[in-house]
Amino acid sequence: MPPKQRKIAIMGYRSVGKSSLSIQFVEGQFVDSYDPTIENTFVKTTKVNNQEYELKLVDTAGQDEYSILPTQYSVDVHGYVLVYSITSPKSFEIIKIIYDKVLDMSGKIKVPIVLVGNKKDLPMDRVISEGEGLKLAALWKAQFFEASAKQNECVSDIFHTMVMEIEKANGNLQEKENNSCSIS
């Protein structure tokens, strides 16, 4: 059986760790410094519930409140990983604006979304509580993770959960798989 192809857009404010999460998931390494992303696409084949998936991760340029989301972020995209940094109140505000834009763009009421509070490895710099992230995810009926791309904490769980959310939205999956990393 050939792998199912799924396209996932990773969106969020600049410097929240979108590329770090993508590279950690695809290549298994943490890249500390690199040029700000224009846009990259990463491909990885992974297995979820005994089904092979070829995931195409669209690592988008950082968005802000004024960004116009290009239509390619809605065409053939199956789900969205929305990332903020637990150390940045601005990124938390921006993620709400991006969420609204994603809904407008997709024209759907419910879009498969996983909300990620990244940089969990910086507890001293935390300004967004886990509770605030959980509350926002509940409001959106989205899955939620706090992750650390640097320490590879919850990274693959984010993408495996995203696949399950996409499958649920497509009517192919009923049961939510319990996973060790998930909070919601």
**Would you say residue 177 lies in a domain?**
no
**Would you say residue 127 lies in a domain?**
yes
DSSP 102-160: HHHHHT-S---EEEEEE-TT-GGG--S-HHHHHHHHHHHT-EEEE-BTTTTBSHHHHHH
Q: Over the stretch 131-150, which tens digit does the pLDDT of each residue have?
A: 999 999 999 999 999 999 99
Q: Over the stretch 71-91, which tens digit does the pLDDT of each residue have?
A: 666 678 999 999 999 999 999
Q: Over the stretch 100-114, which tens digit does the pLDDT of each residue have?
A: 989 888 877 778 999
**Would you say residue 55 lies in a domain?**
yes
**Would you say residue 155 lies in a domain?**
yes
**Would you say residue 34 lies in a domain?**
yes
**Would you say residue 176 lies in a domain?**
no
Yes or no: say if 62 and 14 are a contact pair by the CB < 8 Å rule. yes
Q: pTM value?
A: 0.91
Q: How many domains does the chain have?
A: 1
**Would you say residue 175 lies in a domain?**
no
Assess whether pLDDT exceeds 90 at residue 96: yes
Q: What are the structure tokens assigned to 139, written together?
A: 């409001």
In this prediction, residue 165 carries a pLDDT of 95
In this prediction, residue 2 carries a pLDDT of 85
State the chain's mean pLDDT as an integer: 88
**Would you say residue 36 lies in a domain?**
yes
User: For position 75, which CATH number holds?
Assistant: 3.40.50.300
- Residue 153 DSSP class: B
Average pLDDT of span 152-179 = 84
Assess whether pLDDT exceeds 90 at residue 164: yes
Q: Determine the Cα–Cα distance for residues 50 and 130; give it in Å rounded to an integer.
A: 32
Domain range for residue 102? 4-169
Closest CA to 167 of 2, 8, 15: 8
